[in-house]
Amino acid sequence: MNESPSSQLGGQPYTTAVPPAWTMRPTTPTDAPTVTRHRYPDASADDLKVYAEWVAGAMERGIYLGWIIEACGQVVAGLGLTLLEWGPTKTDPSPVRARVVNVFTAPEYRRQGLAAALLERASIEATARGIRTMNLGTTEQARSLYARHGFKVYAAEMVRQSLV
């Protein structure tokens, strides 16, 4: 199945087609090891196992949605959404937010629109579920991609790690 997402994001219409030789499909729990290797390419086997088990379980529970693009039978790009029960706010009545995670494009396939097509597909799914807010962490390299799709820098967040 070749998906060609089309909708609006940030008030701007967009359509990014996946080239015919490539296939975009939803992830399944059997894709969890692949998703994990893309997220943590240098992780130990134990760390990979822990995350893969979480991803597979999250897919089964419906709180992780993902899509991958395959070319010549190999996964060349992927993207996931983690659905977070956030609670309504004064600017967003939806109780759920989506966090874009695990964005990956194989180096030889970068700059060909694959990440954009995956992001658009994820945006369509979020909109169909009534989700109005998506967020993500980014690198400088990917910042312009997300900006083109309506994401804005939000500097009000802080993180505290190592609570144990």
* C-alpha to C-alpha distance for 84 and 111, rounded to whole angstroms: 30
In a domain, residue 77? The reply is yes
- Please give the share of the chain, as a percent, with pLDDT higher than 70: 87
Number of domains, the chain: 1
Judge whether 164 lies within some domain.
no
Domain that holds residue 73: 6-148
pLDDT digit string (tens) for 42-98?
988 888 999 999 999 999 999 999 999 999 889 999 999 999 998 888 888 889 999
Q: Assign residue 115 the CATH number of its domain.
A: 3.40.630.30
Shortest CA distance to 38 belongs to which of 106, 110, 115, 114? 106
More confidently predicted of 133 and 155: 133
Angle separating helix axes 45-61 and 32-39, nearest 10 degrees:
130
Q: Is residue 96 part of a domain?
A: yes
Q: Looking at the whole model, is its pTM more than 0.75?
A: yes
User: For 64-95, b where at least 16 C-beta lie within 10 A, e where not — what string?
Assistant: bbbbbbbbeeebbbbbbbbbeebeeeeeeebe
For residue range 24-55, list pLDDT tens digits in order.
999 999 999 999 999 998 988 888 999 999 99
Say which amino acid occupies 115.
A
